């Protein structure tokens, strides 16, 4: 693990603390289904990248943070589920099937894309009410994804595909939530 991976993992874990405080204080809202799906897909991505000897540290931190965030959200009784979350659940199943049938590379691809797609309900919420989104937290997540891309050993799927996919959805959420400043 190089310095970029260490920093991205540590900062990612730290970002969950202020997010949890904001959720518990009712300052921000988050999509419960998105976090369930993110944690599940991050776990698949981490396991498949670990198996291939890739850059698995950040998705592992995201799994831990997702569990922590979910506990906070459940404590606040925040629940929402639509057809889109159901679609992403099918993608989770496809990731597991793909992993078993084709190996870790396909699981990494599917779970990485699924992670980005699972963020769309959160993006939709950011567009609808940017004042309820933690802009700084998502800006931090964008930063850790950039660090993780930088920390990849080479331009392979196991090293950089996951943080790039996560970075794309983070950019969208940051842009949508930045509207609260205008």
Percentage of residues in the chain with pLDDT exceeding 70?
99
The answer to whether the CB of 137 falls within 8 A of the CB of 15 is yes
Q: How far apart are CA 66 and CA 150, in angstroms?
A: 23
Q: Where do the H-state alpha helices sit in the chain?
A: 3-24, 32-51, 57-75, 83-102, 104-118, 120-128, 135-151, 162-178
- Residue ranges per structural domain of the chain: 3-181
pLDDT at site 87: 80
Question: Region 135-153: what's the mean pLDDT?
Answer: 96
Does residue 64 carry a pLDDT above 90?
A: yes
- 5-19, 23-37, 100-114 — most confident range: 5-19
Residues 157-167: tens digit of each pLDDT: 999 999 999 99
Closest CA to 115 of 97, 137, 95, 132: 95
Q: How confident is the model at residue 141 (pLDDT cuts 50, 70, 90)?
A: very high
Percentage of residues in the chain with pLDDT exceeding 90?
63
Does residue 142 carry a pLDDT above 90?
A: yes
Q: In degrees to the nearest 10, what's the CA dihedral of 44, 49, 50, 55? A: -120
Which is more confidently placed, 101 or 128? 128
């Amino acid at each position: 693990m190089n310095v970029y991976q260490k920093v991205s993992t540590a900062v990612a874990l730290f970002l969950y603390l202020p997010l949890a405080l904001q959720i518990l204080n009712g300052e921000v809202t988050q999509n419960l289904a998105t976090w369930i799906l993110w944690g599940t897909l991050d776990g698949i991505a981490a396991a498949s990248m670990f198996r291939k000897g890739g850059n698995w540290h950040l998705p592992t931190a995201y799994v831990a943070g997702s569990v922590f965030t979910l506990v906070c959200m459940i404590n606040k009784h925040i629940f929402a589920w639509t057809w889109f979350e159901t679609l992403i659940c099918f993608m989770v199943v496809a990731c597991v099937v793909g992993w078993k049938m084709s190996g870790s590379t396909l699981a990494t691809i599917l779970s990485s894309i699924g992670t980005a797609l699972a963020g769309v309900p959160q993006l939709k919420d950011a567009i609808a009410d940017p004042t309820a989104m933690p802009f700084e937290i998502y800006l931090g997540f964008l930063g850790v994804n950039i660090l993780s891309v930088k920390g990849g050993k080479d331009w392979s799927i196991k090293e950089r595909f996951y943080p790039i996919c996560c970075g794309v959805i983070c950019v969208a959420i940051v842009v949508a939530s930045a509207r609260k400043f205008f």
